[in-house]
Amino acid sequence: MNALVALSAADAAVLLDDPEPRLLDVGLMRLCGRDLAVPAVNVREVVPLPEKLQPSFSGSNASAGSIVIRGRVIPVLDVAARLGFEARSGEDGVVLILRHDAALIGIIMDSVSGLARVAHDSIQPFTVSGVEDHRIVSSSFPHDGALVGLLDPAAVLALPGVPHAREHTAGSDAGGAGARSAVVLVTVAGANLALDAKRVVATVPNALIRPSPAPSSKWVGVVSYLGQEVPVVDDLALFGLSGRAEPTSSGAVIILRLDDKQLLGFKIDRVERILPICERSIRPLPEALAKQLTLFRGAIVDHEGRQNLLLDGDALVRSDALRMIGALSRAQAAPVHSALADPTGATEERQPFLVFVAGERRRAAALSSVKQIIPFPQARTGLNRSGSALQGITSYNGAPLPLFDLSGTIADPEARADAVVLVVEKDGRFNGLVVDRLETVARSKLHRSPSNTADGSPTFFIDAKIGGKQEAVTLCDLANEAAHLA
């Protein structure tokens, strides 16, 4: 789970044609577990956060540094502390380039998660008694069950001592006044593709793909998004090309909207960048090739001189093959009960289990019991307790997440290169279980073991194919393990 996981493929730079009155188009983003938004008209583009920012020579310590985009130096701010958030965890993220009048400034965010159109009367201003400081978020609105803070670009640029760059008005910069849309540039099986940002809903990590209920060569699995089960494809043959996304846990799944009800996940290898374009940026394909690639509008040249084939959003909607798969998107079923809670029922059908290694033991857990899989965090509070497997505390969606080492060893998880954290939830609270590495996701029936635990409780195992061999793997209840390790 690298920067590509953190980078969402939805871009806020889309200027929708003829927007309805009293509606505001915004770009949605995440910072330190919180939801923020920016008016779409104020977003120039979104680029990955570089490993190291360039120095700022403004004479002010208000900026975190500078970023160079197409030869233009733009100051970058880290606003987490100013908003009262904890420090960002990790080095991954994006830089949101804000534009207000002719001024440009970069804002560090964790990810950009989509576009939304909200009613003006749903935006509620708020005040803070006794606070005279410049507040860059002074209103909010509800969206999909979350409260979203609306960032004010003018207030950001009005912060004392904050430097900014000037917009380039001459020439044909695609981010200038002629920009009317945005595209997400991705790489799949060596092919460079451009996706219309208006069709992009969000991006989720490949590690969240679950096996599909009906295995298919064209339908590789499902991911969950806002209570919906979204089918995922990885075969470029569906788009008239050839090749598949790499079968690894890196990369991401781009969720595309086909219509009001149908979503489709597209597994990719890498997000390159998000680019504002104008209509004249799109070059037509030669006639013979255009007849072969009917789902593409043309090509766009990126800043490295590569040709990126632009998928036609309207053609995707008309594709019978894609609509057939998209029709499989459905409301997510209620979470499957714990396999240990009702072993009799669980043995009657196959269900997905996550198989992992902790210490010298291979173990399994019901995949439905794992809320999310995250990398072992570098930024954490080093908290240890005598007699406890506690490895520290980190943040998860803004809440404290205790980390318990499931291996039973005293080795620092940072020394285990493949260590990951399994996030589990119980009674609305989260715990993280550190394991050495993930092995596979196996579909199996649940089997009763001949032996019991020390307190007389029954034990269970599953059959999993690992390295070409069928093995019996002991089942564990992660929520109970976390309570025991605490």
pLDDT at position 178, please?
A: 47
pLDDT at position 172, please?
A: 41
How far, in Å, CA of 159 to CA of 180, rounded?
Answer: 29
Nearest to 167 by CA among 103, 97, 100: 103
The answer to whether 100 and 84 have CB atoms below 8 angstroms apart is no
How far, in Å, CA of 365 to CA of 349, rounded?
Answer: 16
215 Cβ partners below 8 Å, 6+ apart? none
The answer to whether 235 and 245 have CB atoms below 8 angstroms apart is no
pLDDT at position 309, please?
A: 92
| pLDDT tens figures, 89-136 | 766 788 888 888 888 889 988 877 666 778 888 899 877 665 555 688
Share of the chain above pLDDT 90, in %: 4
Q: Does residue 11 have a pLDDT over 50?
A: no
The answer to whether 377 and 90 have CB atoms below 8 angstroms apart is yes
pTM, two decimal places: 0.48
Q: Does residue 39 have a pLDDT over 70?
A: yes
What's the whole-number average pLDDT of the chain?
76
Give counts: helices (H), strands (E), the chain.
7, 34
pLDDT at position 173, please?
A: 46
Name the more confident of 416 and 339: 416
The answer to whether 274 and 184 have CB atoms below 8 angstroms apart is yes
pLDDT at position 454, please?
A: 65
The 3-state DSSP class for residue 7 equals coil
Q: Across 147-151, 374-378, 446-450, which has the greatest mean pLDDT?
A: 147-151
| pLDDT tens figures, 299-331 | 988 877 889 999 998 888 888 888 888 877 776
pLDDT at position 400, please?
A: 81
Provide the sign of the torsion angle of the four alpha carbons 336, 339, 340, 341, taken in this order. positive
